Amino acid sequence: MNYWTDLNMAAAAPEMVLTTALFIVLLLDLWLKDSQRWLTCGLAILSVVVTAAVQGVLWVSESQLAFHDMFILDGMAQLAKIGLYLAVIAVFVYSQSYVQVRNIYQGEFYTLTLFALLGMCIMVSAAHFLMLYLGLEILSLSLYALIALRRDDGKAAEAALKYFVLGALASGLLLYGISLVYGATGSLQLGDVLTATVSAAVNTWLLTLGLAFIVVAIAFKFGAVPFHMWVPDVYQGAPTAVAALVGTAPKIAATVFTFRIMVTGLAASSGEWEQLFLILAVASLVVGNLAAIMQTNIKRMLAYSTISHMGFILLAFLGKETGLEAAMYYAITYALMSALAFGVLMLLSDKDHECENISDLAGLNQKNAWYAFLMLLAMFSMAGIPPLMGFYAKFFVIKALLGQGFVWVAVYAVVMSLIGAFYYLRVVKTMYFDQADTAPETNGQMGSLAKVLLSVNGLLLLAWGILPDSVMNWCVEALVRTY
């Protein structure tokens, strides 16, 4: 038996390269002194770059199944993985000086992040419920440890414990839902589940009950209301470098994860899960935006704004094929916006001061107009102000909703966006018009590469906002090569 060809292992070559590189980094780090930890950072970045290069070399134009139809490589998976690689590289580069001065410049930070990346890659390429669950658990367990990485920080420990308890509950609900779907259809392979549900050869009651449990687990991963309790605590309690990771790449993975289950496996039950998604999205938009207005801690404000943004992604799934393209575009856009916002916060933090309150940004324009402009781009894009990417992300979702006749939902989403613009503009007002006794100092230890990448990050929000079809065409092509 030729395992390479019979199992089509080439389809998972990037994951195998990443796993190998991960263990090399893990082992080499054991022999490094603290003064040599920059090697761990460099090797971690190199590992992701090499994995991305392998992904590019093995780029396929048609969907491929591997490992007895448990793993799939298609357009959606490839686009999502490129987004994941770029997001993780950005987090590594932005956070190097931040983690160094906080005594978390350790191999654990990099190896756990690589483990999280591996879990996300498995999630987006899973064609079987067990693979979906495996990827989700690898991601979740890595994040639990990363959030609690600062052992001397009570807030981080509390946030990690809350996330662990609620995450364990969500995992249990997901497993229970999967077992019910298996009982109803007799299979865990997503294609077989779809075939069974289309032919109506299923136990409808069991399938509907299983679907409800799965939707709850998905809502938890998105941080949708009423399963959002962990999001503000994790964003505020975790080190900003870890919060940047939580707020970027996992959102792309969660979007494709939802696509795999709901569109690939349970499309025949779309009538049921679309109603649940609608309820979750409507609640997330109102709770996320109204709660964010009351926040003075900017990380907590970004957490509540994340809840509202995830409501938009859930709404996109109501828009059929056009909506799926919009969901992917929104996830990529949100990862870019969040990476920029957290990158600026890390830039403005030093060893003795954490930039986490909105008031900490007062007078930033007077101290460094460029960094203030970058934060302005992040805030305006999140608010949905043209011509930035965030505007077109919301526009494409609303357009998809109108195309399916959800007029009142589209109007509601626009109103919620207008309400949400208030707290984003408050941040801009603080940077440009408020005065501080001492203007915020920029982190002098942040390397030139990080500052350049941060600037590119912000300019991409503007450039791809002016030319939105460039990214949308990637999403359309990816979806075409998925079916």
Per-residue pLDDT tens digits for 16-67: 999 999 999 989 888 877 777 788 888 999 999 999 999 988 888 888 888 8
Compute the 3-state secondary structure of the chain and give helix, strand, coil in percent, each to the nearest 5.
80, 5, 20
Quote the tokens at residue 450: 């990080």
d(CA 25, CA 48): 11
Mean pLDDT of 102-117: 86
Quote the tokens at residue 125: 């390429």
pTM of the model: 0.93
Residue 176: phi, psi to the nearest 5? -65, -40
SS (H, E, C) 5-49: HHCCHHHHHHHHHHHHHHHHHHHHHCCCCHHHHHHHHHHHHHHHH
* Residue count (the chain): 483
The number of angstroms, rounded, from the C-alpha of 235 to the middle of its chain's C-alpha atoms is: 13
d(CA 275, CA 79): 28
d(CA 285, CA 309): 7
Total domain count for the chain? 1
Each residue's pLDDT tens digit, 150-170: 877 778 888 888 899 988 999
Each residue's pLDDT tens digit, 228-241: 888 999 999 888 99
Confidence of residue 11 (pLDDT cuts 50, 70, 90): confident
d(CA 322, CA 397): 8
Burial call 140-178: b when 16+ CB within 10 Å, e when fewer: bbbbbbbbbbbeebeebebbbebbbebbeebbebbbbbb
**Amino acid symbol at 212:** A
Q: Is the dihedral of CA 150, 223, 205, 318 positive or negative?
A: negative
- What share of the chain has pLDDT > 70, as a percent? 95
- Start-to-end CA span in the chain (Å): 30
What's the mean pLDDT when you consider all of the chain? 88
Domain that holds residue 32: 3-480
SS (H, E, C) 55-85: HHHCCCCCCEEECCCCEEECHHHHHHHHHHH
Each residue's pLDDT tens digit, 267-291: 777 778 889 999 999 999 999 999 9
pLDDT at 254 over 70: yes
Using DSSP, state whether 365 is helix, strand or coil: helix
Question: Which residue would you say has higher pLDDT here, 400 or 107?
Answer: 400
d(CA 334, CA 281): 16
d(CA 264, CA 273): 13
Q: Rounded to whole angstroms, what are the CA distances from 319 to 281, 283, 406, 438?
A: 13, 18, 9, 49
